[in-house]
Amino acid sequence: MQEEILDTRRNERLCSRISIGSMQFTQTLTLYREDDESGPRTRLGMKLVSQNSIAVIGELVPRLDVQKIVIEYVDSTLRQVQKHCEADA
């Protein structure tokens, strides 16, 4: 996996281009402060954008395999963020 940071705003937003093998997508993580009766908290948003393309020459990845890889990536990323945030609490 390779990650290139495209844009960042401290404590608000991180936008990067991710490459996993032949797959590429843009990932945006956003943080929103929320206050309610239980106190302050932070809501994390994650958006993935990928252009669909078919390789004429090179590796073809079946659609269900791509879906599985992306789901695992999102799950892993969100768990890492949660672990990091809970370690600081």
What secondary structure letter does DSSP report for 72?
Answer: H
- pLDDT mean across residues, the chain: 83
Mean pLDDT of 4-25: 89
Token pair recorded at residue 35: 């206050």
Structural domain total, the chain: 1
Is the model's pLDDT at 66 over the cut of 80? no
Predicted confidence band at 55 (pLDDT cuts at 50, 70, 90)?
A: low
Is the model's pLDDT at 6 over the cut of 90? yes
Is the model's pLDDT at 56 over the cut of 60? no
User: What's the rounded Cα separation, in Å, for the pair 18 and 4?
Assistant: 7
Element (H, E) at 59: none
Residue 39 confidence (pLDDT): 86
Domain, as residue range, for 46: 2-88
Cut 0.75: pTM above it: no
